[in-house]
Amino acid sequence: MLILAGKPVVESLAPALEQQISAFKKASGRSPRLDVVLVGDDPASQIYVRNKHREATRLGISSQVHSFPSSADRLDVRALVERLNRDDGVDGILIQRPLPRSFSLSEVSQWVLPSKDVDAFHPELLGRLALGFPGLAPCTPQGILALLAHYKVEVAGKVACVVGRSPIVGKPLSYMLLNANASVIQCHSRTGKLESLTSQADLLFVAAGVPRLIGRQHVRPGAVVIDVGIHRMPDGGLGGDVRMDEISDLASAASPVPGGVGPLTIFMLMRNVVAAAQARLDTATGASVRHS
């Protein structure tokens, strides 16, 4: 079984992004900028935010973190996001999840302007993706498609099965696979007989958030399996949604946890920041040319 590691994919894509960043700096006289909004003190979120900040800094993207206590009034958080939306120096805005219960996700997902929504939570962006229109796309599904492309896994004409239908992984991933001409089966927690659907797939994507959900009986011989789940396992290590030990002599290729999809997600976030910055610069330049 071929191991689809994420790090070599990031290493192969990084030079092009670094080039884009230096071209942007030359043209605009500033660095692309990402602003992260963190509400509460969830330890995992703090680690994710720190990692994003570190990766941004490494690439020469300026990054600011705005922290609120978990007791924060949602109107205060919203006021900050609106200020960042208006700020011409801010290219990308990310509201770290999970949020405290007092925040409605359907409301929050509409706070960031679609042109600055580098996590691509805004319903308009999901709609654009579904229709195959250009726009920022969610980072994890973008990373998965990049992983497949790097390892030359054919998507067109294949049967793909996606386990999970979250607005940030499962649904956008299905749209991307469909746009890439796969035939897509979408599963979720109410799917009856999961294995009867997953075992039809040439390409199986698992984003259920259930440790070791998928085993031998779910996988078609020769299938490519992408494990998106990430969990702290009882032995203290990290593991995914797939029982890799059961499928290693059955699947033709699989992404490991950790070290598979994870490194690509953060890279795609940085790519979204640069894309958002460049699109705003192009618009501003176009406007100044038209008005001169």
Ligand X SMILES: NC(=O)c1ccc[n+]([C@@H]2O[C@H](COP(=O)([O-])OP(=O)(O)OC[C@H]3O[C@@H](n4cnc5c(N)ncnc54)[C@H](OP(=O)(O)O)[C@@H]3O)[C@@H](O)[C@H]2O)c1
Assess 210 for contact with ligand X (CB under 6 A): yes
Q: How far is the CB of 233 from ligand X (least distance, A)?
A: 12
Q: Which of 141, 172, 209, 256 binds ligand X (CB under 6 A)?
A: 209
Segment interacting with ligand X (CB under 6 A) among 62-70, 79-87, 207-215, 248-256: 207-215
- Is position 96 annotated as part of the catalytic site? yes
* Subset of 174-203 contacting ligand X (CB under 6 A): 187-191, 194
Assess 45 for contact with ligand X (CB under 6 A): no
Residue among 32 and 143 whose Cβ is closer to ligand X: 143
DSSP letters spanning the chain: -EE--SHHHHHHHHHHHHHHHHHHHHHHSS--EEEEEEES--HHHHHHHHHHHHHHHHHT-EEEEEEE-TT--HHHHHHHHHHHHH-TT--EEEE-SSPPTTS-HHHHTTTS-GGGBTT--SHHHHHHHHHT--S---HHHHHHHHHHHHTT---TT-EEEEE---TTTHHHHHHHHHHTT-EEEEE-TT-SSHHHHHTT-SEEEE----TT-B-GGG--TT-EEEE---EE-TTSSEE-SB-HHHHTTT-SEE--TTTSSHHHHHHHHHHHHHHHHHHHHHHHHHHHHHH-
Residue among 191 and 200 whose Cβ is closer to ligand X: 191
Distance CA 37, CA 93 (A): 8
59: its two tokens: 């690439």
Q: Which is catalytic among the residues 35, 119, 202, 227?
A: 119
Q: How far is the CB of 205 from ligand X (least distance, A)?
A: 10
Binding mask 215-254 for ligand X (x = CB under 6 A): -------------xxx------------------------
* Subset of 110-169 contacting ligand X (CB under 6 A): 140, 163-166, 168-169
Q: Which of 34, 39, 147, 208 binds ligand X (CB under 6 A)?
A: 208
* Subset of 254-273 contacting ligand X (CB under 6 A): 261-262, 265
Q: Which is catalytic among the residues 91, 96, 117, 241?
A: 96
- Is position 20 annotated as part of the catalytic site? no
Residue among 135 and 229 whose Cβ is closer to ligand X: 229
Catalytic residues: 52, 96, 119
Which residues bind to ligand X, rule: CB under 6 A? Answer: 140, 163-166, 168-170, 187-191, 194, 207-210, 213, 228-230, 261-262, 265
